[in-house]
Amino acid sequence: MPAGLKTVILLSFVLAVGFLLIILSCALWANWLPLLVALTFVLAPLPNALFAHCGGDDFSSHDSSGPVDLGRFLTSIVVVTGFALPVVLTHSEVVRPGACVMSIIGGALVYGTILAYSAVFRQDDEYD
């Protein structure tokens, strides 16, 4: 279907731009620490994906179990870590402010792509 195809192409383009920004922020100043931001944002949806199927017994189906909560808590921690890491590194003058801004924008693009992808191509059997 053409609509899905367009979305895929757009999302992959945005993902490529995000990674480009992150790698550029490392390579321009020859300091490869901001690459950790890419790693963080790639790992960010992992806890939710892991713990999403732990909840959901038959009748209290939506969001009221411990493992699901833990997954959300961890996801939130990882996302904030992704934004905080370059700021902290800039504050202690390990990386340049330019690299900080570029890696934050790139990381946000990567994470936004992952979120948008999972929102658009959600499996149809999740009926809530």
118: left (phi over 0), alpha (psi -120 to 50) or beta: alpha
* Stretch of 3-11, 28-36, 91-99, 111-119 contacting another protein, by CB under 8 A: 91-99
Pick the binder of another protein from 9, 39, 46, 80 (CB under 8 A).
Answer: 80
* Residue 54 engages another protein in binding (rule: CB under 8 A): no
- CA 33 to each of CA 26, 27, 110: distance values in angstroms, whole numbers, following the listed order: 7, 10, 17
Pick the binder of another protein from 18, 41, 75, 100 (CB under 8 A).
Answer: 75
Residues 92/98/101/107 CA torsion (nearest 10 deg): -100
Pick the binder of another protein from 73, 97, 115, 121 (CB under 8 A).
Answer: 73
Concatenated DSSP letters of 5-70: HHHHHHHHHHHHHHHHHHHHHHHTTT--TTHHHHHHHHHTTHHHHHHTTT---SSS-SS-SHHHHH
Pick the binder of another protein from 11, 23, 69, 114 (CB under 8 A).
Answer: 69
Site for another protein in 16-35 (CB under 8 A): none
* Stretch of 7-15, 21-29, 64-72, 104-112 contacting another protein, by CB under 8 A: 64-72
Interface positions with another protein (CB under 8 A): 59-60, 62-64, 69, 72-81, 84-85, 87-89, 91-94
